Amino acid sequence: MDLIGDARNLLGRANTEAHFAATLLKARGPGVALIPPHRYVAVVRALEAYGPAGAAIALASAGHGNSVAILDERGPVTFSELDKRSTAFANALRAKGFKPGNSIGILVRNHRGIYEAIFAGAKLGARTLLLNTDFAGPQLADVCKREDVTVLVHDDEFTPIVSGYEPPLGHVLAWIDESDQPDGRLSIDELIAGAKTSTPPRPGRKQRIVLLTSGTTGTPKGAPRDLGLSMVIPGGYLSKIPLRSGRSVLLAAPAFHAWGLLSSMLALGLGNTLVMARRFDPKAAVATLEEHHCDALITVPILLSRLVAAADAEIGDRDLSALRIIAVSGSALAPELATRTMDLLGDVVYNLYGSTEVAYATIATPEDLRAAPGTVGRPPYGTTIKLLDPAGHEVTAGETGRIFVGNSIQFEGYTGGGNKEQVAGLMSTGDVGHFDPDGRLFVDGRDDDMIVSGGENVFPREIEELLTTHESIVEAAVIGVEDADFGARLRAFVVRKDEAGIDEEGVRDFVKANLARYKVPREVRFLDELPRNPAGKVVKRLLADS
């Protein structure tokens, strides 16, 4: 046994936890001292009994009980109300026969229902499965069967999609449109109204959140996470993205996605008001930022692009001076978009790079993005990034290599079996990238996206980022298609601002003037929009047949 090595690892973990505990106290601010001592006892009990999610709502309720926790299309709900409603929902499910370790499936848009279900899951010791709102019926049924979903919480609009899976404890409606006539299924509100409000018993096990890997066809993999007592995930996030307590935060990212979930749960845990709508509308989002004096916006690049276009048109009529943070993740942030956003709204953009499997890897601050607009930043304290060649050796400075991440918050393997590739304790993100001389990471593309054309290695991302800098191009994607002479040829898909702005020859000439000859697409196709999943990632496999 390597006792010295084990001792060093333990000491390192202790130092990391202490570092991030201080970060969390800073984020909560002086208001943390206003919580009555007897309420801390309840918070500690919730942490021990129900884990981090249960403690988060207990802490927020103790310090901000009468403040608005969530403002959605149904109106406001306070932290105390959210805590009580999730307790009643948990008790109602227990009364129906739900047991610790059973699975709750959640298929909802952005509204209070997803948080009521998640916090209820914490109080039940449940496996909590967050489902993609883009799922087709067969996909949803496959995932629910694999994950053994015991009760399925969903918006009424998804009733046709969930009809192929009948969970043992049935369906629960999280949102019902006024025009809908539910087919006898109970709603969260009805279950809460008839349930006990007493504190749920200790479930004897902590909640596990099961996130799904990105994808809109096939069966996505489940990536479970034990929500332990570590400060690493919230601390690393807050050490770079300075959310603070008692503010308003606009959530314009899917709450079921890892990025939206992490950001919104941190915002709630800090006692912020989370403002959200079921569907994103850029003009409405700009109006919301002004109306509620939002301190932070949580979003994904494609929605940020649409919001910036709306804000640009209205900037003279809107007061967005309260906006201190625009935090983005989920897909690549184009350098041009980062710069354009900061030129319009100030140096407030933060870009988190990570994956469902590794959590976060790096976070770029506004200073990073001004100095190097294409960067994804540097790793937070306690995280290691290494770039490896195919043999598992570190590449030399400035060279491109496969990105591997080392931290204490990696997932433990997919629910259906298998894991991400690991080398010496570091986990692959599936991307390739390089460091600049100042230690900032740049993602050059997916390690399986590399196109070999005429013997030359091409990563599409470089071409895509260049194309988006053209004044007539809104967005672009590049793929490789089979070619008898070159092995593969480049095909670009371009969304134009207007048809007169640029033609196929103009696209090729623009790339030829800025990049090597072998990076010029041989084909250019124009689309009204690129196919994307709810997290904003372009689904390139859908382009192959276009």
Q: What is the pLDDT of residue 260?
A: 94
Q: What is the pLDDT of residue 55?
A: 77
pLDDT tens string for the chain (546 positions)? Answer: 465 554 455 455 556 555 555 666 677 665 554 566 666 667 777 777 777 788 788 878 888 889 999 999 999 999 999 999 999 999 999 999 999 999 999 999 999 999 999 999 999 999 999 999 988 898 899 999 999 999 999 999 999 999 999 999 999 999 998 766 566 788 999 999 999 989 889 998 889 999 987 643 456 788 877 655 566 778 889 999 999 999 999 999 999 998 999 999 999 989 999 999 999 999 999 999 999 999 999 999 989 999 999 988 887 788 999 999 999 998 889 899 999 999 999 999 999 999 888 888 999 999 999 999 999 999 998 899 999 998 899 998 889 999 999 887 777 788 877 778 888 889 999 899 999 999 999 998 888 778 888 777 788 888 998 999 999 999 999 998 888 777 888 999 999 988 778 999 999 999 999 988 889 999 999 999 999 887 778 888 888 776
Domain residue ranges in the chain: 18-279, 451-542
Residue 330 in contact with residue 322, Cβ under 8 Å?
Answer: no
In 3D space, the residue among 352, 358, 397 whose CA is nearest the CA of residue 376 turns out to be 352
Q: What is the pLDDT of residue 219?
A: 67
In a 3-state reduction of DSSP, which class is residue 180? coil
Q: What is the pLDDT of residue 21?
A: 58
Q: What is the pLDDT of residue 216?
A: 39
User: How far is the C-alpha of 314 from the C-alpha of 515, rounded, in Å?
Assistant: 36
Residue 172 in contact with residue 185, Cβ under 8 Å?
Answer: yes
Q: What is the pLDDT of residue 276?
A: 98
Q: Where are the alpha helices (DSSP H) in 315-396?
A: 335-345, 366-371
- Topology of the domain covering 451-542: GMP Synthetase; Chain A, domain 3 (3.30.300)
- Measuring CA to CA, how many Å separate 219 from each of 131, 132, 256, 257? 12, 11, 16, 16
Q: What is the pLDDT of residue 536?
A: 79
Assigned CATH class of 18-279: alpha beta
Half-sphere exposure of 141 toward its Cβ, with a 13 Å CA cutoff? 11
User: How far is the C-alpha of 250 from the C-alpha of 523, rounded, in Å?
Assistant: 40
Q: In the chain, what is the straight-line distance between the N-terminal and C-terminal CA atoms, in Å?
A: 57
Residue 70 in contact with residue 273, Cβ under 8 Å?
Answer: yes
In 3D space, the residue among 218, 293, 287, 278 whose CA is nearest the CA of residue 248 turns out to be 293
